Amino acid sequence: MLRHPKVLIGADSVDDAGVYLLADDLALVQTLDFFTPITDDPYAFGQIAAANALSDVYAMGATPITALNIIAFPEKGDLGLDVLGAILRGGHDKCAEAGVPILGGHSIDDKEPKYGLSVTGTAHPARLWRKDGAKPGDKIILTKPLGTGILATAVKAGKASAEDERRMIETASALNRRAKETAENFDVHAATDVTGFGLANHLLDVVRQSGVSAVVSVGALPVLPGVRGFIEEKIIPGGTKNNLAHAAEHLVSDQGISDTDRLVACDAQTSGGLLLFVPAAQADELAEQLAKAGTLAHAIIGDVVAADCPTLRLVP
């Protein structure tokens, strides 16, 4: 792989975005993400896809400044241009909420719609958030509730109510902007966002990179209403099951932790919250400030501990 002296974070990294050094005090942060619809509402799909792409920049402690549309859409078939317009309008409106202009983009003919963004952001290189800085004694904070993967599957199966779908869309389309802007006033040792790999695997990414372990209380996890009931009805996305299998070798469960608990921790999220690792002395104040900022969750879910072999331990 080509090594470039100005590439601070590149394709060989597990961080959420790439970083290129423009000047001693300015770094360019770049990411790209797009996916198939998780809702039949095209406007909501556009909003969710845009929020999801923007989140990778926020997860680096950076500020998004521009975006480009990426869209695949069938030229022929039942989906009309009004659907395409609604998707693009959803993305535009979410970027406008973030203060990010869309400069253009590219489209291709494809049988299955897909939409997302390429996002460019900026940050001071010394203030970037990465996955390798978590320290023993840190507290772990999550800024959105879990369960969007379960709810999206329940919607597709015709088992969810209109309120379930509304909660799923509201959660997935919410920007992580307020969480990032609040947390940057604290000593964030490590950070990421919770997406398709689920909370457990994203946590394991951080503890592996940092050479530590994590203990998470399932009772402290913010979970969307109805999610546990759908799991017990066996309405579980394949991605969530795969996440559990992937995490299993390094996932330790105390007595009293159920299969439902483990599946919640592994649910494949779309556009989930920020996962922040901060000194214990700052955790309560950060949680309070997140609540004042209006983030959908502000839960202190666990602790970072020293360990020879990085693991994630679930406790009641």
CA Rg value for the chain: 19
Does the 7-126 domain belong in CATH 3.30.1330.10? yes
Q: Where are the domains of the chain?
A: 7-126, 130-315
- Looking at residue 43, its pLDDT comes to 98
- Looking at residue 1, its pLDDT comes to 58
- Looking at residue 2, its pLDDT comes to 63
Task: Specify whether the CB–CB gap between 268 and 279 falls below 8 A.
Answer: no
CATH class as words, domain 130-315:
alpha beta
- Looking at residue 45, its pLDDT comes to 98
- Looking at residue 79, its pLDDT comes to 87
Q: What are phi and psi of 146, to 5 degrees?
A: -90, 160
Residue 29 in tokens: 């942060």
> Tokens 């969750």 label which residue?
297
- Looking at residue 315, its pLDDT comes to 98
**221-153-236-199 Cα dihedral, nearest 10 degrees:** -30
Q: Considering Cα of 163, then 141, then 277, then 125, what sign does the dihedral take?
A: positive
Question: 7-126 and 130-315: same fold?
Answer: no
Weakly modelled stretches of the chain, pLDDT under 50: none
Residue 170 in tokens: 């509201």
